[in-house]
Structure 1
Amino acid sequence: MLPVDAVLRTVDASFEESVGRLCDLLRIPSVSTDPAYAGDVRRAAHWCADALTALGFTVTINETAGHPILVAHHPGPAGAETPHVLYYGHYDVQPPDPVELWNSPPFEPVVVEAERGRRVVARGAADDKGQTMTFIEAFRAWHAVHGTIPIRATVLLEGEEETGSPSLPKFLKEHASDLQADFCLVTDTNAWDVDTPAITTRLRGLLYLEATVTGPSHDLHSGLFGGAVPNPINVLTGILGQIHDADGRVRFDGFYDGVRELPAELSAQIRGLPLDEAGFLASVGLKHGHGEAGRTLLERIWTRPTCDINGIWGGYTGEGSKTVIPAKASCKLSCRLVPGQDPQAIEAAVQRFFEERLPPDCTVSFRRFSSSPGIEVPVDTPWMQAVRAGLKDATERDGVLIGGGGSIPIVGWFREHLGLDTILVGFGLDDDRIHSPNEKFELKCLRNGIRSHAAILGRLAAGQVG
């Protein structure tokens, strides 16, 4: 067994150097959605490649139709049979706009004092450069103390996560044999709070559709035709207004088929988490919660399916007035799905719901932008036990098992194309302002992340899971 105590001491002693390296990576404006930054995205990939090469990894930068995908392998200690972990992260970032709302230039990282201590402010600080650096710096600490890392590791870093990872599914399918491991470890989620680590065990899937209701052959004068012909905006909003019943439940036929209640132990844990619901709502300017009746706020976000209208348009929306009955009206609609729901069946039910409520002479058409199922991660595997034990070693706190209201498609893709389960360990916070101006990462979270990954490596290598 390679002792972890010396590694944790090295993490603490070299922490300022870790912060400096993170800042170096943050200075690279690797905005994946804008072709003007393509060279910088590639530069970020090479920066990560150089960092991993220096730690004994064999690195390949793979070309795709978009931005490169980096794959790095480490054999672990010579002659040892150890667990093999696939680590995932992404080196691309969201655009910094609106730049004028930043307190400092988005790609000139600054470390500032705040209520929780120091934090680094820059685009990508939390999503996902800071979080990716937690495991790279853990590798570095092990390498500094022992000359190697204690397990076999493969690292997969992509440069298109912020654009939906269009190249990743094909890459996983074509390189499945090169990416085999015992499980995947993803660090792109949140901790429970700045002191308490968390493991996300449930993620909602996503069905995202655009619906367009069409009526007259062309726009009409509302004075000449109003009250005599169907108005697609009226039709569309009338249908949308019927989606939820008085208790906040979705009325699509069969929508709740396959939805299971949580096991009593997990349900009790969620209900027992110390969430400040008033503070949560106040952070977005609200006082009262909303949603499915009889469910707590965390149950609604983590464990229950939803349907939301994300955009609606039609007719004239410019300055002044134009008395028009439009020929068509459209909306964007998203359903967050939980494990057990079938996205294809839900999509068919949505279409029937609209079609059954159309008046004569109106039609509806749909475009699908996303369709992925909810994910549930097993919590009784030896890998999960080792991760939880490592978190406690590093932070002296039990990792909280939480759910996630959003969707992380890569978890489903790893299962589909590689046959692997994923453990999601994150160190971000709800107020990190990811995708927004003044994105930040608390340095306490960075330090907890590095220490946690270092301790997890020790637990995995030692086979100690209790």
Structure 2
Amino acid sequence: MNFSNILAALDNAKERHLEDLTEWLKIPSVSSDSTRKSEVAAAANWVAEKLKTAGIATKIVPTDGHPLVIAETPPISGAPIALVYGHYDVQPAEPLEDWISGAFEPTVRDGNLYARGATDDKGQVLTHIQSVCDWMATGEPLPLQIKFLIEGEEEVGSENLERMLPSLRDELACDCVVISDSGQYAKDQPAITYGLRGIATYELKIQGPSQDLHSGSFGGAVMNPAIALCHLLSSIVDSEGRIQIDGYYDDVQALSEAERAAWAKLPQSDDQFAKEVGVDALFGETGFTTDERRWARPTFDINGLTSGHQGEGVKTIIPATASAKISFRLVPNQDPKKLTTALQNHINQHVATGVKATLEPSHGAPGMAADPESRYAKAAARAIASAFGTPPVMIREGGSIPIVTRFQDVLQCDCLLLGWGLSDDNAHSPNEKFCVQDYYRGIKASAILWTELGKLNESQA
């Protein structure tokens, strides 16, 4: 194999690589929006066609929701099998008025490509697709078999994939899953992520009077659902960031002293971090550093609040209802189902007299941790160091990729989380972006990764 030919081909294809990503980003594949079903399907078809055109065996697998795209290159005897996982669905783009350029009108500014899905996850997963497709176009043999699983429901919890995964076990059998849906530690400081927080999401609804009431005639005589909701939400977390649900911390996996020492050496600046996210000061659980809080401690957040009059002007009412969308980020060993029971008990104990509280669970997934010293992690570290010019640091990530733990359980494989994004890429927010240079470096790192993994033959297993 002449690997220099492959690197040269990747360098010569940069313009086409950017055009491909731009074309894919134009498709508004918002999985949570039922009116976008045809666009979500179009995004699946786009990536399936990209793989097929490269000569990779590809199929679209229907689900009860949005389809899966599954593909694979030919088997290579004696070499490991890598499975690339990613998703083609994206978050809603609202508020649209906050976008400098259209959410689905990809635009390059100051070295960044702006569009919904640029970094989460079309741009990142496309780095691996480009490396494999261009490799095959050179005629050079791949050093291992590479499979692809690209889904359309990651942003809504991956429930259909999770349910179907056992039936796909043999088809997706692999030694390691390669996932690029996270970030670097900092600009020009790549990272390998070996842990993710889990998640549990809910909607909490408060029902008060049978209809909105005049606040003058009835104020002081009935409990206001919006006030009851605020008191209930406030009871969940205290002023020091500690969650007050009974038993919440019982199963929390403590950080090792080695991890804390390693993270303390990272060039983290609270002042710079606060500036990047646009706040005057940081806040979090007492006794932990910023990186520890956002990577390895459990949290509670209010994601949305609704009650009463939202239009222009004043409408002096006691609203009949109030609701909140809430979420918890969980660490390894915490069980979302166990949390649901504990949260319901907490609500029952703290809800105000005169209103009714209803808790509606949405989706949940446990956290995960991989071995940062595995042979696959070391191979990835070599590949990233070569492509980025500096070795990666080992970190955890505060976000959640619900299906990763299921991969570990069902496929019995290692997991490599190799993120090319940056902390200011605005994933899930207006003006999402992806650094064009990091897109190209991610493609190069992906190609080098295949050579490094290909060296790990069965005798080393």
- Specify if TM > 0.5: yes
TM-score by length of 1: 0.88
141 and 377 in structure 1: CA distance in 2 versus 1, 3 angstrom threshold: same
In the TM superposition, what are the counterparts of 1:140-155 in structure 2 within 5 Å?
140-155=133-148
1:396 shift after superposition: 2.9
SS in 2 for 1:175: helix
Mapped to 1, the partners of 2:428 and 2:91 lie a distance apart of 6
Secondary structure at the residue paired with 2:384? helix
In structure 1, what is the equivalent of residue 234 of structure 2?
Answer: 241
**Alpha carbons of structure 1 residues 384 and 366: separation in structure 2 relative to 1, 3 Å:** same
Aligned with 1:430 (options 412, 417, 423): 423
Post-superposition Cα deviations, 1:283-341, rounded to whole Å, max 9, x if no partner, equal 33312111111211111111111112233333445444444444443333221111122
In the alignment, which residue of structure 1 is the partner of 2:6?
7
CA 87–216 in structure 1, closer or farther in 2 if over 3 Å, else same: same
**Displacement after TM superposition at 1:129 (Å):** 2.0
**Equivalent of residue 349 in structure 1, options 318, 336, 342:** 342
Q: Give SS of 2:359's match.
A: strand
Distance 1:326 1:237 in 2: 13
Cα offsets for 1:23-67 (capped at 9, x unmatched)? 333344444444554444333333322332343321111122333
Query: What per-residue deviation string (whole Å, max 9, x for no partner) do you get for residues 141-181 of structure 1?
Result: 43244533211111011233334434322332332221111
SS across alignment from 1:210: strand
Report the Cα offset of residue 406 of structure 1.
1.7
Equivalent residue in structure 1 for 2:86, among 83, 86, 89? 89
The TM-score, its normalising length taken from structure 2, stands at 0.89
Task: Give the drift of 1:76.
Answer: 4.2
**Equivalent position of 2:399 in the other structure:** 406
Q: CA deviation at 1:436?
A: 3.9
The answer on whether the counterparts of 2:2 and 2:140 sit within 8 Å (CA) in structure 1 is no
| Alignment RMSD | 2.7
**Amino acid aligned to 2:67:** P
Q: 1:228 to 1:47 in 2, by over 3 A?
A: closer
Q: Which moved more, 1:429-438 or 1:371-380?
A: 429-438
| 8 Å CA contact 1:3, 1:458 repeated in 2 | no
CA displacement at 1:367 relative to structure 2: 0.7
Count of residue pairs brought into register by the alignment: 458
1:6-405 correspondence runs (5 A) = 6-34=5-33, 37-77=36-76, 80-99=77-96, 101-112=98-109, 114=110, 118-216=111-209, 219-405=212-398
> Once the 2 structures are TM-superposed, how far is the Cα of residue 102 of structure 1 from its aligned partner?
4.2
Provide Cα deviations, 1:254-293, integer angstroms capped at 9, x if missing partner: 1111213212222112222112321221233312111111
2:282 aligned partner, one-letter code: G
How far apart, CA to CA, are the structure 1 residues paired with 2:336 and 2:157? 18
> 1:390 Cα shift?
1.7
Query: What is the identity, as a one-letter code, of the residue corresponding to 1:247?
Result: E
Moved over 6 A (4+): none
- Compute the displacement of 1:85 (Å): 0.9
Counterpart of 1:356 in 2: which secondary structure? helix
Distance in 2, matches of 1:73 and 1:285, equals 43
Counterpart residue identity of residue 449, structure 1: G
CA distance in 2, matches of 1:232, 1:101: 31
The answer as to whether partners of 1:355 and 1:363 remain within 8 angstroms in 2 is no
Cα separation, 1, equivalents of 2:39 and 2:218: 55
Native 8 Å contact 2:364 2:402 kept in 1: no
Unaligned regions of 5+ residues in structure 2, if any? none
